[in-house]
Structure 1
Amino acid sequence: MEQKRCGSKRRGIPLSTVLLLLLASYPFLRAIYNIYFHSLSSIPGPRIWSATRLPFVRSLLQGTIVHDIQKLHRQYGPVLRIAPNEVTFAQPEAWDDIFRPPQGQFLKDPIWWRRGPGMPMSLISAIDPDEHARIRRALAPGFTPRALKGQEPFIQRYVSLLADRLRETVLAQPSSRAEMDIGPWFNFTTFDIFGDLGFGEPFDCLQNSRFHPWIALLFNSVKAAAFVSATRFYPAIEYILMKCIPPSLKKMQQDHFQQIVDKVHRRLNYEMDRPDIMSHVIKAGEELPIDEINVTFMVLTTAGSETTATVLSGTMNYLIQHPDQLQRLTNEVRRRFKSGNESDMTLDSLRNLPYLNAVLSEGLRLCTPIPWVLPRVVPPGGATICGVSLPGGTPVSIQAYAMNRDPALFRHADSFLPERWLSEAATDEESPFFSDRREAMQAFSLGARSCMGQHLAWAEMRLILARLLWSFDFEAPKNKAKWLNWEDLRTFLLVEKRPINVGLRLRSDNCEERLSASKC
């Protein structure tokens, strides 16, 4: 009887408590699985990053993602596990293995690349290879070297306007020397160029010496885009976030997009023929529907402008802090164009200036406009990358920032040394840069999805930098506290630039005399 009473007092653990315990222990159990039993558990990497996506998301939201991963690559090697299901590479062979594989394309990871809700497909968001090829086929003729010849007058016009605006700024100073943030001026120029080539009208940034409101809003939305991307790893959070967007913000986004729609509409209704990018899209006919034209040109406005301005800003920042390289480049430009006629400075004439090309190549290496190549997905059946076998469905990425600064690939990897890109560096075994792995630097990517605009980007970079060095004497700001360390900049998908302060004055009148002494 007593035994029965004791038994009657025993109570089982409530089912709700069991469920709560299981729910609470799930993250811990999942982390243990990810570290020790996941199919990627043999890939080197810090345990905390392998256990959960949270360290990755934290680094992304702080803007330190490329620097954090660079440190991890130096600690763990060129193949690195940066999340439970993701591997990244800082090894030159990864370019061909991922972007030019012998069998099966690595498709874009939808987490990063899929189009936003209600948005049409664009060149960037087209994940399906056939859809991407269709859009690219309509756009590609506008980005060929042949097309660039017809577009040169547009480019020359805005580079001349840039020089005029800077000259006015210098002459307005009592000392005829100005100190300014040169970065926005590069953005003014590249956005105006693409505005005219894409829509038949500039954004009037140079004309008004300030950003167009559309571009200002674009810059302010870059951080927000990183936050939205981070939520995609947690669908419930993404769903709640999308529901919480206030109507006023949605209206602002619609107005932002509508400005591009209006620009496209005006350009499509031009009666005159002009050799710009849009003219080739028009010739393609119905291959590109109007909604895809609108969103693609909105994306290309950023991709074709901000990235070029980033390289120019970073290159100028390094040049003013390295007066010997600045002097050598200035000498090359001014010797090549001694006549004093700026019209001689054509895109063709600039193409073969060896030190100019070397300086810009070094700028592309150290100031990579896309410092982190967003993930692709290993095709079904798996693939081998840099000798490592990975299962199908694994997101894989390339860390351009880490690779371009790897001392195992580049001698004095953190130093600005354009000489490494001169032809003799690759052929002279006595050169300190003979063993540099130059093929590691692929600023415009490779394969079917390589950057179409690379010819335009190179043309703009050469012309803008050469024209400014021909017209002005540049120097570092007098206050060294204003010097910028490029390595301190944060990355939110794009590089978050800070002021690039430079001193400049008009080119000295006795430049020709000083040229002979190699001081000009």
Structure 2
Amino acid sequence: MNATAQALVLPFITQVTRAVSLSENVKVLGGIPFAEDGTYLEWLSILGFTIGCYYVIYTFYALCFHPLRKYPGPWHLAVSNIPNRWSTISGNSSYWLYDLHEKYGPIVRVAPNEISYSDPQAWQDIYGPQPNQRLGMPKDPKFFSSFEDKKTAASIITSQPKDYMRMRHIYSYGFSKQVMLAKEEMIQGIIDRAMEALRQTKQQPQDIVQIFRATDFSIVTEIVFGKAYHIFDRPTYQPWFKSLMGWIRSTAVITATTDYPLGKLAAWLLTPRSVLKQRNVYLKYVNGEIEERIGESNAGRKDVVQLMFETTDQPKLAESDIRANLPFMVIAASETTTTLMSGMIAHLLNSPDALSQLTAEVRGRFRSPSDITIATVNNLPFLNACVNEALRVYPAAPTQLPRVVPGEGATVCNRWVPGGTKVYVAPYATFRSAENFYQPDAFLPQRWLPENGESFDVDKKNAWRPFGLGAHECPGQVITNLITRLIMCKLLLSFDLELCADSQDWLSRQPVWIVWDKPELLIKARPAAA
């Protein structure tokens, strides 16, 4: 609580404590003051009155004297962060922020000490390099520490600038195009196995989300651990990749409770038991694989773990650093790719013209699946436009990533923000704002083409930052973009797709726990005519 508010409220508490201690008619039993007649209602009333005064005074302070008092937003959010945190716990945060920005504008006070932005300039002001902050504003330590299951070492999520750049160098190379080219045969084999699995369905409804997830997970774990898990053929590992959302959702709840006393207990109570069970399954599998891989540190594999051991950067990463980073890395690299592809195919199946145009482009460029390679998939303009538009209307990472304004304060969107304030860009609200994009709720890939027409001249393309900005820009975006293009090209070359009736409303109000909690997306895949 702010020092000014404390100065107003603490005298009330002091007076009550003093009254209790001086009273000759009070006995203390078990630390609770009782009157001689055995009741404690009088003192309970005083305590209740004191607490009531505390909140009345704090509310008055938050609305009338707080440094953020002039920022727009509903009054109840200025006095409590509970609505904000509950929106995260309930999976409604992205929509909640969108509604607030639609009503109050591009800058909104969403908690007593928290501001959300949908103004494109905020990307640079918050996350971009600053004169005294090369990596942008500092991360909110409470929020980001929620992603770590072990506090014995810092991960790339919570590390300080020096360690962060050292870790980022490893991850950027481990998920680079160069590494993917070296592993292309393996990647193509996994994708071809996924296409074969679809072909074997004989046009029966299939959940394409799970097919995408199994494919992405197989590729990412091969790149990270150097080991082929063959998810399609080995049921042993299927509980692992199916438990990803359990870890993600439970982590989202933890991020919402870190501000409170007994926050971990609150997170445990507020998370469904089935979700906690999934979290434990995920951690059991991933930690087991980490220990096995660390035990083979001299195996000579060309994977991300080997890069961690062989890095020439000093100081070298300790085994504890590796253990702290890998659980999140596997999810971040695989689930964002699954999200992008699921959202893209859902929008295409609901946009027949766009699907027809993309299918024609793919089949006009490639004659057989073997023609589809890492070197050839980037030269399809409409495919690139569809990927960009999918990332706009269905961002792979729709959750806001809070930063803390440095102690000296900073200017964000031409307004002064005092030090210690939490600030962030709300991606979903930003990408869906009519202030930033023409027909923001429509899936219109043509907006990303050079010959897009005058209607799209109003688009503020600098509002579109699907992988973040600056030094903290997602190091896994290369693998996400390449895998998405490879799979989409092979899928549309090999099959004619149909959306099943049960999935017609798939895009409506999905919960968001860091990423979209994607339900079944049922499709029928009919082999394309030769």
User: TM-score category by the smaller chain?
Assistant: 0.7 to 0.9
Structure 1 pair 361–252 and aligned structure 2 pair: CA distance change class (3 A):
closer
Alignment match, 1:294: 323
Alignment match, 2:392: 365
- Residue 243 of structure 2: SS of its match in structure 1? helix
1:67 aligns with 2:95: yes
Alignment match, 2:353: 324
TM-score (norm. length: structure 2): 0.85
- Residue 397 of structure 1: SS of its match in structure 2? strand
Q: Distance in 2 between matches of 1:237 and 1:110?
A: 15
Structure 1 pair 432–249 and aligned structure 2 pair: CA distance change class (3 A):
closer
Alignment match, 2:59: 31
Deviation of 1:120 after TM superposition, in Å, equals: 3.5
- Residue 166 of structure 1: SS of its match in structure 2? helix
Alignment match, 2:166: 134
Alignment match, 2:225: 199
Alignment match, 1:418: 445
Deviation of 1:242 after TM superposition, in Å, equals: 7.1
Q: Distance in 1 between matches of 2:47 and 2:127?
A: 45
Q: Distance in 1 between matches of 2:509 and 2:277?
A: 35
Deviation of 1:56 after TM superposition, in Å, equals: 1.0
Q: Distance in 2 between matches of 1:155 and 1:252?
A: 27
Deviation of 1:26 after TM superposition, in Å, equals: 1.6
Deviation of 1:181 after TM superposition, in Å, equals: 1.7
Alignment match, 2:73: 45
1:109 aligns with 2:130: no
Deviation of 1:223 after TM superposition, in Å, equals: 2.9
Q: Distance in 1 between matches of 2:483 and 2:270?
A: 42
- Residue 278 of structure 1: SS of its match in structure 2? helix
Q: Distance in 2 between matches of 1:323 and 1:242?
A: 44
1:496 to 503, 517, 527: 517
Q: Distance in 1 between matches of 2:254 and 2:307?
A: 34
> Residue 489 of structure 2 aligns to which amino acid in structure 1?
A
Q: How many residues align?
A: 483
> Residue 529 of structure 2 aligns to which amino acid in structure 1?
S
Q: Distance in 1 between matches of 2:108 and 2:327?
A: 34
> Residue 501 of structure 1 aligns to which amino acid in structure 2?
L
Pairwise mapping of residues 127-206 of structure 1 onto structure 2 (< 5 A)? 127-170=159-202, 177-206=203-232
2:305–2:322 CA contact under 8 A, matched in 1? no
Report the RMSD for the aligned CA atoms in angstroms: 2.8
- Residue 505 of structure 1: SS of its match in structure 2? strand
1:88–1:398 CA contact under 8 A, matched in 2? yes
Seq. identity, %: 30
Alignment match, 1:282: 309
Deviation of 1:358 after TM superposition, in Å, equals: 0.5
Structure 1 pair 362–270 and aligned structure 2 pair: CA distance change class (3 A):
same
1:188–1:211 CA contact under 8 A, matched in 2? no
Deviation of 1:147 after TM superposition, in Å, equals: 2.3
Q: Distance in 1 between matches of 2:208 and 2:269?
A: 40
Structure 1 pair 456–241 and aligned structure 2 pair: CA distance change class (3 A):
closer
Q: What is the CA deviation profile of residues 258-314 of structure 1, one whole-angstrom value per residue up to 9, with x for unaligned ones?
A: 532432344452766444333322321661111211221111110000111011001
Alignment match, 1:514: none
1:196–1:202 CA contact under 8 A, matched in 2? yes
1:460 aligns with 2:483: yes
Structure 1 pair 39–144 and aligned structure 2 pair: CA distance change class (3 A):
same
Deviation of 1:250 after TM superposition, in Å, equals: 9.6
Which ranges of structure 2 fall in alignment gaps of 5 or more residues?
A: 1-40
Q: What is the CA deviation profile of residues 325-382 of structure 1, one whole-angstrom value per residue up to 9, with x for unaligned ones?
A: 11110110111012x3x22211110111101111111111111111122201011100
> Residue 301 of structure 1 aligns to which amino acid in structure 2?
V
Pairwise mapping of residues 88-487 of structure 1 onto structure 2 (< 5 A)? 88-103=116-131, 104=133, 105-114=136-145, 116=148, 118-170=150-202, 177-208=203-234, 212-238=238-264, 256-268=282-294, 269=296, 273-284=300-311, 287-338=316-367, 340=368, 342-425=369-452, 430-477=453-500, 479=501, 481-487=502-508
Structure 1 pair 69–243 and aligned structure 2 pair: CA distance change class (3 A):
closer
Alignment match, 1:516: none
Which ranges of structure 1 fall in alignment gaps of 5 or more residues?
A: 1-12, 171-176, 510-520
- Residue 389 of structure 1: SS of its match in structure 2? strand
